[in-house]
Structure 1
Amino acid sequence: MKVSVVIPTYNNEGTIAATVESALAQRFEAKFEVIVVNDGSTDSTRGILAKFGDRIRVIDQKNSGVSAARNAGIRAASGEYIALLDGDDTWNEDKLQKTAPVLDENPACAAVFSDVMQVDGAGKEYGTWVSPEFQHSPTLDEMLEWPWPNLPSATVIRRETIMAIGGFSEEFGRRGYGGEDTFAALLVRERGEIHFVPDKLVRYRLSDFNGNLAKRIRSRDSNQSGIDQFEEPERLSDGLLIFARLVREHFGARGRKLAEWAIDKLANELIAVGMTAMHEGDRTLARRCYRASLRYRPLMLKTYFRLGWAMLPAKVAGMLSPMLPPRLRRSLSGPPFHGLPDRPQ
Structure 2
Amino acid sequence: MKVSVVIPTYNNEGTIAATVESALAQRFDDAFEVIVVNDGSTNGTRGILASFGDRIRVIDQKNSGVSAARNAGIRAASGEYIALLDGDDTWSEDKLQKTAEVLDKNPACVAVFSDMIQVDGAGEEYGNWVSPEFQHSPTLDEMLARPWPNLPSATVIRRETILAIGGFSEEFGRRGYGGEDTFASLLLRERGEIHFVPDKLVRYRLSDFNENLAKRIRTRDNIQSGIDEFEEPERLFGELLIFARLVREHFGARGRKIAEWAIDKLANELVAVGMVAMHEGDRTLARRCYRASLRYRPLTLKTYFRLGWAMLPAKVAQRLSPMLSPRLRRSLSGPPFHGLPQRPQ
TM-score by length of 1: 0.97
Query: Which residue of 2 is the match for residue 313 of structure 1?
Result: 313
What's 2:251 paired with? 251
Determine helix, strand or coil for the equivalent of 1:127. strand
SS at match of 1:118: strand
Cα distance in 2 between the residues matched to 1:212 and 1:343: 12
In structure 1, distance between residues paired with 2:228 and 2:207: 25
The CA deviation at 1:343 is 9.3
Distance 2:133 2:71 in 1: 31
Q: Determine the C-alpha separation between the residues in 2 that align with 1:47 and 1:61.
A: 15
Distance in 2 (alpha carbons) for counterparts of 1:227 and 1:312? 29
Distance in 1, Cα, partners of 2:134 & 2:58? 35
String of CA shifts for 1:11-34, please: whole Å, max 9, x gaps. Answer: 100100000000000000100000
Whole-Å separation in 2 of the counterparts to 1:160 and 1:261: 30
Q: Is structure 2 residue 76 aligned with structure 1 residue 73? A: no
Alpha-carbon spacing, 1:297–1:79, altered in 2? closer, same or farther (3 Å): same
Counterparts of 1:1-345 in structure 2 under 5 Å? 1-220=1-220, 228-340=228-340, 341=342
Contact persistence 1:149–1:343 (CA under 8 A)? no
Q: How many correspondences in the alignment?
A: 341
Q: Equivalents in 2 of 1:124, 1:61: separation in Å? A: 33
Q: Report the Cα distance in structure 1 between the residues aligned to 2:83 and 2:219, rounded to whole angstroms.
A: 37
Q: Secondary structure at the match of 1:114?
A: strand
| Matched-pair contact (CA < 8 Å) for 1:274–1:286 | yes
How far off is 1:134 after superposition?
0.6
Give the Cα separation in 2 of the matches to 1:13 and 1:289: 32
How far apart are residue 314 of structure 1 and its match? Answer: 0.5
Q: Which region of structure 1 is more displaced relative to structure 2, 173-182 or 326-335?
A: 173-182
Structure 1 segments, 4+ long, off by >3 Å, are: 226-229, 340-344
Contact 1:275 1:336 in 2 (8 A): yes
Question: Is the alpha carbon distance of 1:227 and 1:131 closer, same or farther for their aligned partners in structure 2, counting shifts above 3 Å?
Answer: closer
Q: Following the alignment from structure 1 to structure 2, what is the Cα–Cα distance between the partners of residues 227 and 314?
A: 28
Q: CA deviation at 1:339?
A: 2.7
CA offset digits 1:49-79 (Å, max 9, x no partner): 0000000000000000000000000000000
Q: In the alignment, is the contact (CA less than 8 A) between 1:23 and 1:91 conserved in 2?
A: yes
Give the gaps of 5 or more residues in structure 2.
none
- CA distance in 2 between partners of 1:338 and 1:66 (Å): 26
Aligned counterparts of 1:342 and 1:14: Cα–Cα separation in 2: 17
- Give, in whole Å, the separation in 2 of the partners of 1:339 and 1:233: 24
Pairwise CA distance, 1:227: 10
Q: CA deviation at 1:342?
A: 8.1
Residues 207 and 343 in structure 2, CA contact (< 8 A), matched pair in contact too:
no
- Cα distance in 1 for residues equivalent to 2:268 and 2:280: 18
State the 1:194 CA deviation.
0.3
Q: Distance in 2 between matches of 1:187 and 1:211?
A: 34
- Measured against aligned partners, the alpha-carbon deviations of 1:119-145 in whole angstroms (never above 9, x if no partner) come to 001111101110111100000000001
Structure 1 gap segments, 5+ residues each: none
TM-score of the superposed pair, with normalisation by structure 2: 0.97
Q: State the alpha-carbon separation in 1 of the partners of residues 269 and 127 from structure 2.
A: 23
**Shift of the alpha carbon at 1:338?**
2.0
Distance apart, 1:209 and its partner CA = 1.5
